[in-house]
Chains A and B, each alone.
Chain A
Amino acid sequence: MTVHEALEVIARNRGEQIVITTMTAVAIWPELSDTPLDFAYMPSAMGQAPGLAQGLALASARGVIVIHGDGCTLMNLGCLVTLAHTPADVTLIILDNALYEVTGGQPPAGAGRTDFAALARAAGIGRVYAFSEHNDWQSLGPQALNGKGPAVIHLRVEGRMGQKAPRPHRTMSDQIQRLREAICR
């Protein structure tokens, strides 16, 4: 499945949840959704979007979907244990393209072999899903996206070469302000 196909399913089924995008997804997501509950986390701290999502979910009592990559998840695998230990309504989606896409397409350690779903289960996450086919993701994605978090969804997607680091359409301060206004309503 392509990244675009993977994200379309999320956009159709996210409901009123906050969506935090990172890296590759930052460039594509605005074609699918542009609401105050969409937060393009760029510039970012490497691997730290799940923690940001967990804090937001604990603070706002609203579900948070965080769209992460395989490389950045590997930089902070402890986030799975932290999320299981202090449960919050967070759905961590790992787009696994087996590439560091914006640095020239180099493979991360364990590229294509790492079983993120097994890692999530071993960390204590109760709701864990894995999809590699678009049809399966389309049919079962709504259920996976709408249960109570914490949840982890591992999606194998096609890698793309020649990508550059995306830039969000809004400044960080604008994004924070409109997200705060939306969650305080």
Chain B
Amino acid sequence: MITGSDFVAALREAGITDIPWLPDSELGRWESALAAAITPRLIRVCREGEALAIAAGLLIGGRTPLVAMQCTGLFEAGDSLRNFAHDLKLPLRVLVGVRSWRAYLQQQTADTCPSFTIPIIEAWGIPYRWLDGTMADLLAALNEPGPRFYLLPE
């Protein structure tokens, strides 16, 4: 399991400068480590579309952000994603916690989130990869160019 300090170390090693985010219960475990870090800078937002907008400004200005959100926020953020990834063609990278994914695979949840996450990501035409929860995999993922989604099964 990746700890908060592991996560911050991986972000630093990958050159991530800023992390606009709206956490869920899984990502939220890393909150204290991120809040304590000077780099990357944690930027709290009110909604996920806004996180993508801030990341877009950071990218144009020469920074290297990673956006973090839950899949529910991804559903909300579609207009931002369409605009910044496709109209402005910015290499956004987004870490998405996929709620109830493990239970969904075992057909043990009534949560509708997991069934819509992949179809929606594929509809937006942006590459994605699942994270396996190891540091090595996280580091490899963060060194891939954007635009890209990193999916964290929950």
Please name the residue on chain B nearest to A81 by beta carbon: B46
A43 contacts which of B45, B80, B87 (Cβ < 8 Å)? B87
Flag the segment in B6-14, B57-65, B109-117, B119-127 that touches A: B57-65
Contact between chains at B56 and A52 (CB < 8 Å): yes
**Scoring A residues 101 to 127 as 1 if CB is less than 8 Å from chain B, else 0, what string do you get?**
000000000000000000000000000
Q: Out of B44, B54, B79, B87, which one reaches A172, CB within 8 Å? A: B87
Whether the Cβ atoms of B87 and A183 lie closer than 8 Å is no
The interface residues of chain A lying within 8 Å CB-to-CB of B46 are 78-79, 81-82
User: Given the complex, which residues of A lie within 8 Å of B43, measured CB to CB?
Assistant: 58, 82, 86
- A183 pairs with B61, CB closer than 8 A: yes
Q: How large is the interface on B (under 10, 10 to 19, 20 to 34, 35 or more residues)?
A: 20 to 34
A59 touching B58 in the complex, CB below 8 Å, given contacts A48-B83, A82-B50: yes
Chain A interface: which size bin? 20 to 34
- Which label, helix, strand, loop or mixed, suits the secondary structure of the B interface? helix
Contact mask for chain A residues 32-72; partner B; CB cutoff 8 A; 1 contact, 0 none: 00000000000111111111111111111000000000000
Give 17 A-B pairs besides A44-B83, A82-B45, A172-B87 with Cβ atoms closer than 8 angstroms.
A43-B87, A45-B79, A45-B84, A49-B53, A51-B54, A55-B54, A55-B55, A59-B60, A59-B62, A60-B62, A76-B49, A78-B45, A79-B46, A82-B54, A172-B88, A183-B61, A184-B62
The answer to whether A48 touches B62, judged by C-beta atoms less than 8 angstroms apart, is no
Which of B18, B44, B53, B79 touches A58 (beta carbons < 8 Å)?
B18
Cα-based distance from A56 to B45 in the complex (angstroms)? 15
